[in-house]
Amino acid sequence: MTQIFNIAAYKFVGLADLEQRKAEVMSKAQALVLKGTVLLTPEGINLFLAGTRPAIDSFLIWLRTDPAFADLEVKYSSSEGVPFKKLLVKIKKEIIRMNHPTIRPEAGRAPAVDAHTAARWISEGKDDAGRPVVLLDTRNDFEVQAGTFTGAINWHLSKFTEFPQAVLEHKDELAGKTVISFCTGGIRCEKAAIFMGDVGVENVYQLDGGILKYFEETGGVGYEGNCFVFDERRSLDATLSPQPV
């Protein structure tokens, strides 16, 4: 059986000519028999694709010839079958809807903490400055039910557009602490960290690359359960292997 490689990637970067980009991405992905979803927006790209390793490699080489995506970072996992039924390339207003158009991550990333540093802080319960560390789950509540970091804050969101109001309601609870916002692959926690910084929450970091990158690099230190994913695999354990929900 041919092993299937799955990639997840995003980048906040100002994009124009979206219809032309859509046609080009669709044509290239179809030619390589890839399946999954690519979102193109004025604020950047988000993609989840699956195919053979040569096809995935070929697509990424092609995509990175575009200066906008030359430094695109990708998370890999493998599966025995293709976890997507078809190929979709869509144009949307936001990579992930937040309804706060002033949050434009391509203008500058929020401070990020890498997986190994985060694991050390989590194990020690404090950052390098001695501040207590709290983990803030920015995902929807049904995703959190599959697994999350031990002791993580869960505001029981039903959709990400509820996050800004939740921050304003709980802002005082975060004072004096170092906050690590986390999500599946990095998109929501990056926007979340920027928003929190803008409304005056200090010492906020995004977990660079999200839970999936954390699993890949640390094996899931301090994480309980699995990570919900939006494809037919539904849930991945800390080895990035599919698990039943």
pLDDT band at 142 (very low <50, low <70, confident <90, very high): very high
Condensed to tens digits (0 to 9), the pLDDT of residues 150-181 reads 999 999 999 999 999 999 999 999 999 999 99
**Residues 135, 223: contact at Cβ < 8 Å?**
no
Among 48, 16, 51, 12, residue whose Cα is nearest residue 31: 51
3-state secondary structure of 216: helix
**CA-CA-CA-CA dihedral for 65, 70, 72, 77, to nearest 10:** 40
Q: How far apart are CA 240 and CA 1, in angstroms?
A: 19
Q: How far apart are CA 153 and CA 35, in angstroms?
A: 35
Which residue among 183, 189, 207, 236 is the active-site one? 183
Residue 241's Cβ-count burial label (10 Å; 0-12, 13-18, 19+) is middle
Condensed to tens digits (0 to 9), the pLDDT of residues 186-237 reads 889 999 998 999 899 999 999 999 999 999 999 999 999 999 988 888 899 9
Q: Is the pTM of this model over 0.75?
A: yes
**CA-CA-CA-CA dihedral for 61, 241, 154, 126, to nearest 10:** -80
Strands annotated E in 112-222: 112-113, 133-137, 147-149, 153-154, 178-182, 204-207
Q: Judge whether 189 counts as a catalytic residue.
A: no
What are the structural domains of the chain?
4-91 (3.30.70.100), 105-236 (3.40.250.10)
Condensed to tens digits (0 to 9), the pLDDT of residues 88-122 reads 999 999 888 887 665 665 666 788 999 999 999 99
Task: Please report the pLDDT score of residue 101 as a whole number.
Answer: 63
Among 244, 179, 190, residue whose Cα is nearest residue 213: 190
Q: 79 or 49: whose pLDDT is higher? A: 49
